[in-house]
Structure 1
Amino acid sequence: MHFRTEIPITQNSEKISLHTPVLTIGSCFAEVIGQKLIDTKISALANPFGTVFNPLSITKLLRQALLYQLPDDALYLENQGISFHYDFHSSWWAATQEELKAQLTQQLHQVRDRLLSAKWLIITLGTAYVYRELTAGHIVANCHKMPNKQFRKELLPLQTITEDFRQLYALLRAANPAIRIILTVSPVRHTRDTLPLNAVSKSILRVACHELSESLEMVSYFPAYELLLDDLRDYRFYKSDLIHPNEMAEEYIFQKFSEAYFDHSLKQFTKEWQKMRQEMAHRPQQPNTAAHRSFLENLLKKLQMISGTVGVDAELDAIQQQLQAIKY
């Protein structure tokens, strides 16, 4: 007897290894996946532009990075004495436009370097709805809490999304022929659009991902959206806002991702590393004892053994500090 519908995940022929450079970009779910890759000690750059929900803003930023373009001067704004840019998340801000421009330009250059070296680019699409700033006529990535009357909400047509992505794909392949792209649709529900319109939006994104993954050689699709809505399918897998997946759901989805995309050696390393992370998170009831010192010394040896493979300087320092603090 089965009580849920599990989704079989297609095993990708090309795999991610421990030292594979990865870039994630898109909605907040791209940040979750990116951070979990970093926590696994994979060389990942996670959502470097901040949360970007719509596909056209994502491709625009990647295109600007590849082509060494500066942030659009027409899209800087000031709100309550702080400078923002309509193409970037509000986590990017500065006291002056000049200071912000320097920060954004540097970040675009960093992303370009990663795009040229990356073996995998993970793009998470959040919504097919966009907001167009009426003065300049540009689609924006973030409205930065400016008045609603300054924007017009639009639903992107499927063809616009796919044609724009194909243009980016050609640029990416020309700059880095080895790069592979994983498309996902964020399982986070945009309830502000209303649930019926969120379904319309996600449907367009899902069809776009299907068309692109079926027609482009180096593009695949990972069903993060379906894993939450069709496999887990219960509010106990959501945070209290009933919109975002909770930690249990994120871990389950990442587990499915690793099964599909990690190579054998990375899967083995991940198992060992998770055990060490659990040991490092252990909080002893009797810290100032010989037994706890022995526990820390054994953990220190394990970290030293892998220090030539992955960077664990911070973890080594933390364990050594704990050892120095023991007094008995």
Structure 2
Amino acid sequence: MNFRTEFTIPASDWKINLDSSVVSMGSCFAEVVGTRLQQYKMAGLYQPFGTLFSPVALFKILSNALKDQPADPRLFLEREGKWLHYDFHSSISASNQEELNRLITNQLVSLKECLSKAQVLILTLGSSWVYQLNDTPAYVANCHKQPARIFTKDLLSVKTICKEFGNVYTLLKQINPGLRILLTVSPVRHAKDGMMENSVSKSILRAACHYLITDYQDTAYFPAYELLLDDLRDYRFYETDLVHPSEMAEEYIFEKFQQTYFSKELSQFAKDWQRLTKALNHRPFQPNTGTYQSFLEKLKTDFLQLPVNTQMEVSEIERRLSNIRL
């Protein structure tokens, strides 16, 4: 008897290698992937502008970076002594407008540089619901806790999402013809919009992804959304808010991502890295013993044999060795 609706993810005809550079942006899954790839010491840029739910917000940032356009000067605001910008997450902030503008400009330059070298761009779409600032008017990425009356809520169409993606796709291919784009839909339900409204929102995103991978070469879809809602499909795989996936669910989804997109070499490295970092995090009951000293020396040798920079881990091992008093 089956208690889950497991499904097979089609094998990818391209793989991520240890020397690949990845840019990951958008909602929750972009952060999950970025965090784990950083743990594996992989080059890239992960969530450089914080969490972004709206597709048009993502596409606008990418477009600005690729066209060397500065942040929209109309969209700066001050809140509680901190300067923010409506196009970016609240984690992108500064003590004054000039400083924030420099920060954003530098981040946009870095994004363009990374996109020109990257092998993969991961975009996680979170919601089709958007908010338009009435005075400008312009869609914003974040309302920054401003009064609801200054915004108009709107729902993106599949056509709008596909059109905006097409403009960015052209720019991306001009700067990096070999870039592959991986689309995902965030499985996090936006309960504050209402459950029926959330269903409409996610269906639009999913339909847009379907058409995009059909119409654009080197564009693929990873089913993070389906893995949580159709495969796991149980509240034990959610956090206590019953909206966000649990750590176990995130690990399961990322394992599926590894199986689909990691090369054999990267998969083996990931296993070795997890084994060695787990050993490094182990705290012995009797640290001042020859046995523990031999364990650390062997661990140091194993880290040095990995094909990445492990200076931080080796330094920690050497610190522990220096503290041993036999």
Same fold (TM over 0.5): yes
| Paired residues of 2:29 and 2:224 also in contact (CA < 8 A) | no
| Structure 2 unaligned blocks of 5 or more | none
| Paired residues of 1:181 and 1:219 also in contact (CA < 8 A) | yes
Task: Report the counterpart of residue 280 of structure 1 in structure 2.
Answer: 280
Aligned mates of 1:52, 1:86 — CA distance in 2: 11
Q: Do residues 166 (structure 1) and 144 (structure 2) align?
A: no
Task: Report the counterpart of residue 118 of structure 1 in structure 2.
Answer: 118
> TM-score if structure 1 supplies the norm length?
0.98
| Paired residues of 1:29 and 1:188 also in contact (CA < 8 A) | no
Taking only the aligned residue pairs, the percentage that are identical comes to: 49
Q: Which moved more, 1:103-112 or 1:231-240?
A: 231-240
Letter in 2 for 1:310: V
The CA deviation string for residues 180-202 of structure 1, in whole angstroms up to 9 with x for no partner, is 00000001111101111111100
Offset at residue 219 of structure 1 (A): 0.3
Task: Report the counterpart of residue 239 of structure 1 in structure 2.
Answer: 239
Letter in 2 for 1:91: S
Offset at residue 66 of structure 1 (A): 0.6
Task: Report the counterpart of residue 204 of structure 2 in structure 1.
Answer: 204
| Paired residues of 2:26 and 2:126 also in contact (CA < 8 A) | yes
Aligned mates of 1:72, 1:319 — CA distance in 2: 48
Offset at residue 44 of structure 1 (A): 2.7
Q: Do residues 90 (structure 1) and 116 (structure 2) align?
A: no
Task: Report the counterpart of residue 68 of structure 2 in structure 1.
Answer: 68
Give secondary structure in 2 for the equivalent of 1:84.
Answer: strand
The CA deviation string for residues 193-213 of structure 1, in whole angstroms up to 9 with x for no partner, is 111111110000000001001
- Give runs of aligned pairs for residues 2-21 of structure 1, distance below 5 A: 2-21=2-21
Letter in 2 for 1:319: I
Q: Do residues 325 (structure 1) and 317 (structure 2) align?
A: no
Q: CA RMSD in A?
A: 0.9
Offset at residue 261 of structure 1 (A): 0.5
The CA deviation string for residues 2-33 of structure 1, in whole angstroms up to 9 with x for no partner, is 22111211111011000100000001321111
Give secondary structure in 2 for the equivalent of 1:24.
Answer: strand
Q: Which moved more, 1:289-298 or 1:248-257?
A: 289-298
Letter in 1 for 2:325: K
| Structure 1 unaligned blocks of 5 or more | none
Aligned mates of 1:127, 1:33 — CA distance in 2: 19
- Give runs of aligned pairs for residues 107-186 of structure 1, distance below 5 A: 107-186=107-186
Task: Report the counterpart of residue 291 of structure 2 in structure 1.
Answer: 291
Aligned mates of 1:12, 1:202 — CA distance in 2: 24
Offset at residue 111 of structure 1 (A): 0.4
| Paired residues of 2:44 and 2:114 also in contact (CA < 8 A) | no
Letter in 1 for 2:160: T
| Paired residues of 2:27 and 2:125 also in contact (CA < 8 A) | yes
Structure 1 outlier segments of 4+, above 2 Å: none
Letter in 2 for 1:101: N
Give secondary structure in 2 for the equivalent of 1:130.
Answer: strand
The CA deviation string for residues 75-100 of structure 1, in whole angstroms up to 9 with x for no partner, is 00011121000001000111100000
Letter in 1 for 2:163: E
Aligned length: 326
Give secondary structure in 1 for the equivalent of 2:305.
Answer: helix
Offset at residue 288 of structure 1 (A): 2.1
The CA deviation string for residues 86-126 of structure 1, in whole angstroms up to 9 with x for no partner, is 00100011110000000000000000000000010000000
Task: Report the counterpart of residue 313 of structure 2 in structure 1.
Answer: 315
Task: Report the counterpart of residue 50 of structure 2 in structure 1.
Answer: 50
Offset at residue 264 of structure 1 (A): 1.2
| Paired residues of 1:83 and 1:97 also in contact (CA < 8 A) | yes
Offset at residue 236 of structure 1 (A): 1.1
| Paired residues of 2:86 and 2:142 also in contact (CA < 8 A) | yes
Offset at residue 43 of structure 1 (A): 1.5
